[in-house]
């Protein structure tokens, strides 16, 4: 059994968990630490090192799901983290913090890949869009199970503002929106995404997906809508999967 550490950096917490790479299952509990405000590089590196030290049973590569465009280990955007991440070699930072090979992938792409492999998207053909509702809105687009990476649809303008400024999980909390008010906004976002990409299925993930039973019935689209099967663990599992597959290449 090959145990790989997956880490998911969110706006409020950095979650880590051990994944059995052969069954693509989380083994044991997720351990989380608070995200240093804005995730400055040095503080983030220290937090990553402490998370790695928490799981001594994992000695192989480490995967990190990060909330930005990630191209060949380099972070290219910084919407919800400090601007110093733009152009930073995140994979090198992770590798140095972990003391072994580190691989970095966009957080929604990681979650989506995990969902397509072992979660709500398993066996789904056609166009599938995974969306994560957390500090921002993350997107991952699949055609017949293959990912188009870094789609960044949370920044699509809807009614004069970015989708994630209208309807992220954070906006719901900060503005004190009840489920009907928030879902009305999410439905606008889903309608726009459907008009442009016509997915057959939306998978709803991110922190808020833990509470899908409370709001899922209020969501509307021409496409099917399902909650992430792995719920908030999807990013951790996807990050580990990415590390495991990248290390093998």
Nearest distance, CB of residue 109 and ligand BGC, angstroms: 8
CB-based closest residue to ligand BGC: 136
Kindly state the number of chain residues that form the binding site for ligand BGC, as judged by CB under 6 A. 17
Q: Is 68 in the site for ligand BGC (CB under 6 A)?
A: yes
Q: Which of 164, 201, 223, 226 binds ligand BGC (CB under 6 A)?
A: 164
Of the two residues 15 and 21, which places its CB atom closer to ligand BGC in the complex?
Answer: 15
CB of 149 to ligand BGC, least distance (A): 10
User: Which long-range CB contacts under 8 A does 32-38 form with residues at least 24 apart?
Assistant: 35/9, 35/10, 35/11, 38/81, 38/82
* The only residue of 95, 106, 209, 244 in contact with ligand BGC, by rule CB under 6 A: 106
CB closer to ligand BGC, 10 vs 61: 10
205 makes contact with ligand BGC (CB under 6 A): no
| CA dist., res. 151 & res. 165, Å (int) | 17
Q: Which of 152, 190, 199, 240 binds ligand BGC (CB under 6 A)?
A: 152
Q: Which one among 6, 17, 63, 67 touches ligand BGC, defined by CB under 6 A?
A: 67
The gap from C-alpha 11 to its chain's centroid, in whole angstroms, comes to 11
115 touches ligand BGC by CB under 6 A: no
Single out the residue of 119, 136, 169, 227 in contact with ligand BGC (rule: CB under 6 A): 136
* 12-20, 47-55, 103-111, 169-177 -> range binding ligand BGC (CB under 6 A): 103-111
Residues that bind ligand BGC (CB under 6 A): 67-69, 77, 79-80, 106-108, 132, 134-136, 138, 152, 154, 164
């Amino acid at each position: 059994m090959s145990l790989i550490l997956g880490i998911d950096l969110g706006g409020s917490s950095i979650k880590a968990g051990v994944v059995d790479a052969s069954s693509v299952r989380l083994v044991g509990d997720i351990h989380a630490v608070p995200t240093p405000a804005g995730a400055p590089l040095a503080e983030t590196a220290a937090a990553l090192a402490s998370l790695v030290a928490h799981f001594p049973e994992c000695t192989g590569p480490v995967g990190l799901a990060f909330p930005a465009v990630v191209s060949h280990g380099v972070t290219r955007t910084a919407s919800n983290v400090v601007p110093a991440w733009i152009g930073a070699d995140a994979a090198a930072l992770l590798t140095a913090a972990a003391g072994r090979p580190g691989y970095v992938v966009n957080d929604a792409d990681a979650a989506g890949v995990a969902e397509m492999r072992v979660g709500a998207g398993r066996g789904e053909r056609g166009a599938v869009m995974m969306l994560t509702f957390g500090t921002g809105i993350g997107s991952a687009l699949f055609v017949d199970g293959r990912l188009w990476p870094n789609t960044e649809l949370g920044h699509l303008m809807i009614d004069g503002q970015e989708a994630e400024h209208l309807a992220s999980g954070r906006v719901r909390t900060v503005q004190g929106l009840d489920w009907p008010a928030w879902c009305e906004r999410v439905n606008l976002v889903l309608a726009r995404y459907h008009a442009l990409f016509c997915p057959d299925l939306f998978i709803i993930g991110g922190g808020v997906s833990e509470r899908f039973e409370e709001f899922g019935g209020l969501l509307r689209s021409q496409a099917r809508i399902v909650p992430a099967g792995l719920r908030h663990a999807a990013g951790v599992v996807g990050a580990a999967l990415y590390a495991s597959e990248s290390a093998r290449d």
